[in-house]
Amino acid sequence: MDQKRIPSFFLHPGHLHAGLLHVGLALVMMLAVLPAHAGATGVRLMAFGDSLVHGYGLEEQETFPAQLEAALQERGHDVRVLNAGNSGDTTAAGLARLDWALVDDPDAILIVLGANDGLRGTDPAQTRSNLASLLQQLEERELPTLFTGMLAPRNMGPDYAAEFDALFPQLAAAHEVIFYPFFLEGVVAQPPLNQGDGIHPNAAGVAEIVKRILPSVEKLLAQVESADPREG
């Protein structure tokens, strides 16, 4: 190639380095000022909870958030389901990390907490207080919420079970959120749908949960769309 026809910019390595540096800095500055959702489409739904959300013992594509996202997209919803589950979380632990999780700026949230409280025999009054505080924070943020219920292990005794089971629908009514009564409906105590520990759903069990909870999730998405000023 005739060097006389090559722009002098490309003939001087120092100029090239400086030019690339300026371009890099410009890109960084552009990204810094873009809004969090720039380039993103659809609804960002956060599944927030314990190992039932996180996917204990499962492959990524088998987890509740992944299977829920796939099912919603198959039904024509433009949605991304964020996995904000943390195995072992009690309601106290979930409450403590809520602000940190919400940095991801979801458009709606699905709450799955309480199973570990029941397994540990946590005082239902404490579970109620933790979940009430969590729901209050979401209410103050005006974040559309789907709240799922849990049932106490029956070996905790009838009095404990009655108090524990009742707190979920009572909180849902008090905070006027969409409520799904029992997250593990149709899966609990069904060996083919659970892992060897008899507690955590396997991939087939998660699929059953997704199938059953889907109408409630679609109700949540409708709530998001009705509140979106871009709609209509």
Show which residues are catalytic. Answer: 51, 197, 200
HEC-encoded secondary structure of 97-127: HHHHHHHHCCCEEEEECCHHHHHHCCCHHHH
Residue 73: CB atoms within 10 Å: 14
How far apart are the C-alpha atoms of 210 and 17, rounded to whole Å? 53
- Residue 80 CA: distances (Å) to CA of 16, 34, 46, 77, 108: 41, 20, 8, 9, 11
